[in-house]
């Protein structure tokens, strides 16, 4: 079996700054791994945090590690070797990992919105509705559809005959490959719009859930306190993710090749810098139980 090679877009700026870029992005990747692994390990080891809200947070952190790992190792490799090419099978794999991670992020935020809705609107039924079995099913619903959707998307793009192999992006994504096609990509376009509509529906569910929560919380001081303590971090995370995903989708599908190089690179990189670094920091500092356990783990490490 023969494989062709795609040429990725080189980052803007002088090549003399390549090693500076490498150092900065290596530091970012290590920091992303550190904070997400730290939060995940603390939640896994602390039995007091074995509750649905923290389990879903752990899932979000693990998914952010997956998404970052789909991008940073290849990007760092390209920076240090000044080689912006990628074999076709690796390109398909990178697109699969990155965008299945994006879909999992959206699904996780939807499940977290449902969790907060039940916790605040129906607190007496919370542990009945969100028992271990239900949490397990929800986590399966987060991961399995995302992998299935991206598997189909990659298979649909691999059947296309391409005119060239120059991807105008710093990493591989499925739609950038589809746009290189010499033949009709109507099936890919329709399928992509169906998937986008599916996850747009999840976003609408999140918005409706929080509108309902705001209405409910007006009636009770305790509900308002619970809302500010547990829902605000989720809202911040959701807004941050929505902005990153929106700009990435719009840039990938409808962005012009004449777009400013600096803006182009920013749109490509923002999704891999802000959400995976922002999410564990926001939850770690805002959620009292997580913050307490994180500080406790720091003290124990320092004592050793």
Express each pLDDT in 241-297 by its tens digit. 777 777 777 777 766 666 666 676 776 777 788 888 888 877 766 667 777 776 776
Out of 137-146, 192-201, 205-214, the most confident range is 137-146
Average pLDDT over residues 100-127: 87
Average predicted confidence (pLDDT) for the chain:
82
Please give the pLDDT value at position 237. 77
Higher pLDDT, residue 144 or 185: 144
Query: What are the φ/ψ torsions at residue 51 (nearest 5 degrees)?
Result: -125, 155
Domain that holds residue 186: 5-303
Give 123-160 pLDDT, tens digit per residue.
888 888 888 899 999 999 999 999 999 999 999 988 88
Please give the pLDDT value at position 84. 81
Domain count, the chain: 1
Q: At what angle do helices 52-81 and 288-303 cross, to 10 degrees?
A: 60
Please give the pLDDT value at position 1. 38
Higher pLDDT, residue 67 or 49: 67
Higher pLDDT, residue 249 or 180: 180
How many other CB atoms are there within 10 angstroms of residue 287's CB atom? 22
Higher pLDDT, residue 8 or 48: 48
Q: Identify the CATH number of the domain in which residue 195 sits.
A: 1.20.1070.10
Taking Cα atoms as reference points, which of 78, 117, 109 lies closest to residue 217? 117
Query: Which region holds residue 120: left if phi is over 0, alpha if psi is between -120 and 50, else beta?
Result: alpha
Average pLDDT over residues 34-51: 87
**SS3 letters across 79-118:** HHHCCCEEEHHHHHHHHHHHHHHHHHHHHHHHHHHHHHHH
Return all residues near 145 (Cβ < 8 A) that are at least 6 apart. 103, 107
| Residue 13 pLDDT level (bands cut at 50, 70, 90) | low
- Rounded CA-CA distance 19/16 in Å is 7
Q: Where are the beta strands (DSSP E) in 155-280?
A: 166-167
302: which strand partners? none
Q: What is the pTM of this model?
A: 0.86
Is the model's pLDDT at 2 over the cut of 60? Answer: no
């Amino acid at each position: 079996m023969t494989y062709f090679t795609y040429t990725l877009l080189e980052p803007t700026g002088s090549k003399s700054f390549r090693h500076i870029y490498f150092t900065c992005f290596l530091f970012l990747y290590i920091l992303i791994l550190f904070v997400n692994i730290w939060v995940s390990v603390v939640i896994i080891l602390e039995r007091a945090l074995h509750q649905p809200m923290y389990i879903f947070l752990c899932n979000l952190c693990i998914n952010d590690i997956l998404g970052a790992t789909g991008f940073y190792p290849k990007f760092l490799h390209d920076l240090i070797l000044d080689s912006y090419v990628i074999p076709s099978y690796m390109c398909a794999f990178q697109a699969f990992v990155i965008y299945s991670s994006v879909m999992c992020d959206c699904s996780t935020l939807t499940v977290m919105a449902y969790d907060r809705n039940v916790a605040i609107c129906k607190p007496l039924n919370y542990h009945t509705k969100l028992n271990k079995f239900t949490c397990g099913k929800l986590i399966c619903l987060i991961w399995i559809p995302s992998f299935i959707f991206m598997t189909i998307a990659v298979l649909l793009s691999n059947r296309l005959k391409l005119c060239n192999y120059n991807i105008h992006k710093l990493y591989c994504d499925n739609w950038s490959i589809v746009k290189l096609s010499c033949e009709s990509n109507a099936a890919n376009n329709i399928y992509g719009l169906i998937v986008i509509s599916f996850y747009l529906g999840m976003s609408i569910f999140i918005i409706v859930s929080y509108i309902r929560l705001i209405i409910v919380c007006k009636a009770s001081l305790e509900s308002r306190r619970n809302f500010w303590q547990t829902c605000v971090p989720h809202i911040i995370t959701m807004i941050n993710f929505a902005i990153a995903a929106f700009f990435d989708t719009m840039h990938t599908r409808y962005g012009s090749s004449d777009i400013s190089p600096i803006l182009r690179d920013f749109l490509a990189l923002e999704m891999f810098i802000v959400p995976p670094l922002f999410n564990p920091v926001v939850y770690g500092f805002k959620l009292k139980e997580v913050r307490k356990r994180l500080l406790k783990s720091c003290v124990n490490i320092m004592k050793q």
